[in-house]
Structure 1
């Protein structure tokens, strides 16, 4: 087997093997890890980061990065909850407005990247701070409670065998299935990969690269809006402090899932496995009594290892 073939096999099967090994390790450390209730908790913790990771994957596939995802999610969640609980909006209209806010943020990112040609890192770093400031201003740094049932419905559970599974987790799986189909079976999906591989070559071959990038950032913003609704459903409140670590978590999930930070290579379902790896580590370390500070440290180590593996795989290919 050539080195290139080994690199491809590592990118394909490596995330699943890492998830399996993590589960085996934590199962040996805590008898509570393999309980149905704990698996339910993991899926509820993962569903927010998992949906954010869909948008992040789309952006990274085009050789970009979105540092604003967590703060845009927080802004969308505050827009939904404030409109529904204090402004008298119908719950469905409040949710639609929140989705519109996050999608608009994605469009702004896309326009700055395509029209002004600013680097995605700088653009999304700026919009991250803008979204954070707007979230604090409109919420006055106060949580929003007494939400209508529609906003928390996705936090309810149904039983799959003996394991309670949140409706939001099922929605996450549906969204991953849709994203997988769009990237694999449509011309637009193939254009995303082409732009990530070589933007100039894609342009010369007749692909409207600006339109592709704008659509990617807009879809990413929409995903952040869905994640905002899931965050509200999971916690039962509109939290202005939400989203402050999700940018690192999503990048970690995407890279652990085998998507290259250099663009043009990756599978969307790998990001789901990556999000599960992050969730399993956080959950397992909590069961072991490890401080949350060390959990963040482990997340940082994971993303460095994943990027190093991606770099080795890229050089080998």
Structure 2
């Protein structure tokens, strides 16, 4: 009797234990489950939470920090960190607002200059980290103070008002059903999608992960690690410039006091989204989920009448939990 070989069906391959395990161990699975549970909890405890208008408000509230978190994700994927992002964004917003409000430059030219200034900060960060070299923590901590001081010097401690319409255009809304959506929210979502594609489907993205896993191994495989590192920091700075424009569009002014805690908020979103602080593991879409987790918790707790200090307490506990899970998963992977 001749044995007949059986070929496993494609369906069996898709639903096999390997695929299930891959899904369960994916960096974004835990954060997504946490987001769904949080939404379910607040939907049951507050009547206003589960409405289109409230969800639109959540996205508006997190779009600036979310955009910062994109740049922060790029840097953390390389095992770095950027403490200066909020201050750089604030300086960029003051440059844009003041140049346009005083008529020194046209609104579009002012926006372009602000983007270049923020990218310049990122470039300097990258050069110091790669060429000196200095630890990213020290470099960006120092740059935080530099950007903070320049913001207050250049603004003369004054809020810039009377901004031309192009600077606040992204804060305008359009109706979608019974819900008003801001154009800035769409820009943030588009950025997340663009960087998610770049990291997951391009050679550049594979090089970023390789750099975070092992810079020496990446160099031996022909990746120009020095150029890549500097480019990532400069690109992150450019993203901070876009966040500066979104900040202006949301507030309608150039505020020198803005962004003082946004650096920590962006790191919180990245960590909650499953990106490892040790580099090489994570995803931009996970960061988007992390941003939404922060926004949902703060919005839901506010609707429940919980004081803001307890919102901060809960957010801090979530960060510690997320890092603990990352550490445990790293040890199991060894």
Say yes or no: TM over 0.5: yes
1:35, distance to aligned residue in structure 2 (A): 2.2
Question: RMSD value over aligned CA atoms?
Answer: 1.6
- Which residue of 135, 157, 166 maps to 1:141? 157
The 3-state SS of whatever aligns with 1:145 is coil
Task: Tell whether the 8 Å contact from 1:43 to 1:165 is kept in structure 2 after alignment.
Answer: no
Take 2:109 and 2:135, find their aligned partners in 1: how far apart are those partners?
Answer: 34
Could you tell me which residue of structure 2 aligns to residue 218 of structure 1?
234
- Which residue of 103, 106, 123 maps to 2:122? 106
Unmatched segments (≥5 aa) in structure 1: none
Take 2:226 and 2:321, find their aligned partners in 1: how far apart are those partners?
Answer: 32
Could you tell me which residue of structure 1 aligns to residue 57 of structure 2?
41
1:122, distance to aligned residue in structure 2 (A): 0.6
Task: Tell whether the 8 Å contact from 1:75 to 1:134 is kept in structure 2 after alignment.
Answer: yes
Task: Tell whether the 8 Å contact from 1:249 to 1:299 is kept in structure 2 after alignment.
Answer: no
Task: Tell whether the 8 Å contact from 1:8 to 1:313 is kept in structure 2 after alignment.
Answer: no
Could you tell me which residue of structure 2 aligns to residue 50 of structure 1?
66
Listed as ranges, the matches of 1:88-99 within 5 Å are 88-99=104-115
Task: Tell whether the 8 Å contact from 1:39 to 1:163 is kept in structure 2 after alignment.
Answer: no
Q: Per-residue displacement from partner, 1:79-108 (whole Å, max 9, x unpaired)?
A: 100101024310001101110110000000
Q: Per-residue displacement from partner, 1:17-36 (whole Å, max 9, x unpaired)?
A: 11111111122222111122
Task: Tell whether the 8 Å contact from 2:27 to 2:286 is kept in structure 1 after alignment.
Answer: no
* Residue 271 (structure 2) pairs with residue 259 (structure 1): no
Could you tell me which residue of structure 2 aligns to residue 292 of structure 1?
308
Could you tell me which residue of structure 2 aligns to residue 268 of structure 1?
284
Could you tell me which residue of structure 1 aligns to residue 202 of structure 2?
186
1:8, distance to aligned residue in structure 2 (A): 5.4
Task: Tell whether the 8 Å contact from 2:87 to 2:259 is kept in structure 1 after alignment.
Answer: yes
- Which residue of 303, 311, 315 maps to 2:327? 311
Task: Tell whether the 8 Å contact from 2:23 to 2:29 is kept in structure 1 after alignment.
Answer: no
- Higher-Rg member (1/2): 2
1:7, distance to aligned residue in structure 2 (A): 9.1
Could you tell me which residue of structure 1 aligns to residue 89 of structure 2?
73
Task: Tell whether the 8 Å contact from 2:269 to 2:291 is kept in structure 1 after alignment.
Answer: yes
Unmatched segments (≥5 aa) in structure 2: 1-16
Q: Which moved more, 1:295-304 or 1:167-176?
A: 295-304
Take 1:8 and 1:57, find their aligned partners in 2: how far apart are those partners?
Answer: 22
Q: With the length of structure 1 as denominator, give the TM-score of the two structures.
A: 0.96
Listed as ranges, the matches of 1:112-131 within 5 Å are 112-131=128-147
Task: Tell whether the 8 Å contact from 1:56 to 1:250 is kept in structure 2 after alignment.
Answer: yes
Q: Per-residue displacement from partner, 1:225-250 (whole Å, max 9, x unpaired)?
A: 00010011011111111111111111
**Cα distance, 1:269–1:213 mapped onto 2, change above 3 Å:** same
- Which residue of 231, 239, 249 maps to 2:247? 231
Task: Tell whether the 8 Å contact from 1:255 to 1:307 is kept in structure 2 after alignment.
Answer: yes
Take 2:250 and 2:220, find their aligned partners in 1: how far apart are those partners?
Answer: 46
The 3-state SS of whatever aligns with 1:158 is strand
